[in-house]
Amino acid sequence: MNITKEDIDQLNSIVRIDITADDYKDKVENVLKDYRIKANIPGFRKGHVPMSLVKKQYGKSVMIDEVNKLLQDALGNYLVEEKLDVLGNPLPKIKEDFSWDADDFSFEFELGLAPEFEVNLKPKKAIKVYKIIADDKMIDDQIIRIREQYGKIIQKDSVEEGDNVTVTFENEEKEINKKSTLKLDDFKGKANAKKFLGKKVGEVVELKSKGLFEDDHNLIKVLGVTHDDAHGLDVPLKATIDEISKTELADLNQELFDKVFGEGNVKDEAEFRAKLKEDAENQFKQQADQHMLNAVTESLIENTKFELPVEFLQKWLAVAGEKSLSDEEAKEEYQKSEKGLRYQLIENKLSKDNGIQISYDDLKDYTKGFIKTQMAQYGQMNPEESELDDIANRVLGNQQEAKRLSEQLMNEKLLNFFRENVNLDVTEVNFEDFIKEVYK
């Protein structure tokens, strides 16, 4: 057997594998001997079938199988030994005059090679990222919601500002008949809420679905309509008042602190506000981190220039899936996946050059931390180490879960690396401004 490589350019090569009869004939002979022992052919006792008949019936197919096995092993070993960083998979070149009737064979494979490049971690323009803070207004609003949640419901005879109303909404055309409880403040504008003021249980208020709420999606829950119907729904509504109530806010005292954060964990209003701020900002951190990862990813792709073996990759995509693609379909698929491929190459280089990797012990420790957090939510604050080990082993035994957690851990490692090595412009914003900035 002989293997040679011809470089077409820096990104494309052809590997040629020459196989002679001496490379495969002994393997074929051994397989045919085994066939002879096991073959059941009418007119011959088992194990006594003439070898000439076995060769005539099975010889060619066995030879083809053995040559293909030899070919795949040789190609795989060659790529490893030569340390060739290939993209996709080698593509066999079709020869019009190829025939399995010969004794010696020559096979050629096209290779698309990964480019060599340097990653630009310091673009001229710093990458804008955000630290989301919980401002005083957000904490004030959250405290009101908590005091409402733990407050006392008082039934009332007539509707006043700030009250809750339980209403049955009806419309025959859209077959709406839904009872919902909401605050007057939930309605868009003052006009709709004003219609309820002074009304008593059993009285009816005439409304229109259009403009009832700031967000039409609220109609799904309140009226029981579908998502499609909710958008632009414009029908009259008959709203019959079934119940009127007011929430008397819970006192901001030690009893409330204990209910929210556990007995003795918060001792006064200042600590209560500080804990709410800490918890809120921890939740916001996930969104800020995801935005940062996206922003750095886009910057790295934009500022790290290298060529790709485009023609090869399009040819590979045409045959790589379960269904073959036309040239045009393969081109479209490449255009959709090119950015992802570029970032994967950049991430692989950063990981290799900077020792950013995940060991099984890293993944298991990360999984155990994830499990401890979940258990704490259900009051299990100090689980045994052996219990954590058992649960982690079961979780990581699921291939999909192991992959998901591994990707999360790699993202965390990359984020820490980016914080230390990428030119970032960190801006502090509240959550409302973050949403406006990022999703404007």
Q: What is the pLDDT of residues 89-109, one digit of tens each?
A: 999 998 888 999 999 999 999
Q: pLDDT confidence of 172, banded at 50, 70, 90? A: very high
Say what angle helices 327-354 and 269-303 make with each other, to 10 degrees: 120
Both tokens of 24, joined, read 């495969």
Pick the CATH number of 152-248 from 3.40.50.970, 3.10.50.30, 3.40.470.10, 3.40.50.410: 3.10.50.30
Residue 49's nearest CA partner among 61, 59, 62, 40 is 40
Give yes or no for residue 47 having a pLDDT over 90.
Answer: no
Higher pLDDT, 386 or 382: 386
Torsion, CA 92, CA 93, CA 95, CA 98, rounded to 10: -20
Pair type for strands 204-208 and 236-248: antiparallel
Give yes or no for residue 340 having a pLDDT over 80.
Answer: yes
pLDDT of residue 45: 73
Both tokens of 18, joined, read 């020459």
Higher pLDDT, 157 or 44: 157
This model's pTM is above 0.95: no
What is the full DSSP assignment across 262-289?
-TTS--SHHHHHHHHHHHHHHHHHHHHH
| Amino acid in position 21 | A
Q: Which residues contact 276 (CB under 8 A, 6 or more apart)?
A: 134, 139, 142, 143
pLDDT (tens digit, 9 = 90+) per residue, 116-138?
999 988 888 899 999 999 999 99
pLDDT of residue 100: 93
Residues 282, 287, 290, 294, CA torsion sign: negative
Tokens 């602190």 belong to which residue?
Answer: 257
| Amino acid in position 188 | K
Residue 401's nearest CA partner among 357, 371, 373, 372 is 371
Q: How far is CA 341 from the centre of its chain?
A: 16
3-state secondary structure of 260: helix
Task: Output the CA angle 289-291-293, nearest 5 degrees.
Answer: 70
| Amino acid in position 378 | Y
Phi, psi of 14, rounded to the nearest 5 degrees: -125, 125
Domain 2-113 adopts which CATH fold?
Alpha-Beta Plaits (3.30.70)
The 3-state DSSP composition of the chain as helix, strand, coil percent (nearest 5) reads 50, 20, 30
pLDDT of residue 135: 93
Taking the C-alpha atoms of residue 239 and residue 241, their distance in angstroms, rounded to an integer, is 6
Q: Classify residue 201 by burial, with Cβ atoms within 10 Å: 0-12, 13-18, 19+.
A: middle
pLDDT of residue 415: 94
Mean pLDDT of 200-220: 93
Higher pLDDT, 139 or 54: 139
pLDDT (tens digit, 9 = 90+) per residue, 262-311?
888 899 999 999 999 999 999 899 899 999 999 999 999 999 999 999 99
What is the full DSSP assignment across 160-209?
-TT-EEEEEEEETTTTEEEEEEEEGGGSSHHHHHHTTTT-BTT-EEEEES
pLDDT (tens digit, 9 = 90+) per residue, 63-95?
999 999 999 999 999 999 999 999 999 999 988
Give yes or no for residue 421 having a pLDDT over 80.
Answer: yes
Give yes or no for residue 41 having a pLDDT over 80.
Answer: no
Give yes or no for residue 238 having a pLDDT over 80.
Answer: yes
Mean pLDDT of 323-349: 95
Strand ranges inside 93-142, DSSP E: 105-113, 127-133
Q: Do the Cβ atoms of 363 and 402 come closer than 8 Å?
A: yes
The class (CATH top level) of 268-438 is: mainly alpha
Q: Percentage of residues in the chain with pLDDT exceeding 90?
A: 80
Give yes or no for residue 243 having a pLDDT over 90.
Answer: yes
Task: Output the CA angle 348-353-354, nearest 5 degrees.
Answer: 100
Residue 62 has a CB neighbour count (10 Å cut-off) of: 21
Q: pLDDT confidence of 427, banded at 50, 70, 90? A: very high
3-state secondary structure of 360: helix
Q: Where are the domains of the chain?
A: 2-113, 152-248, 268-438
Mean pLDDT of 229-254: 94
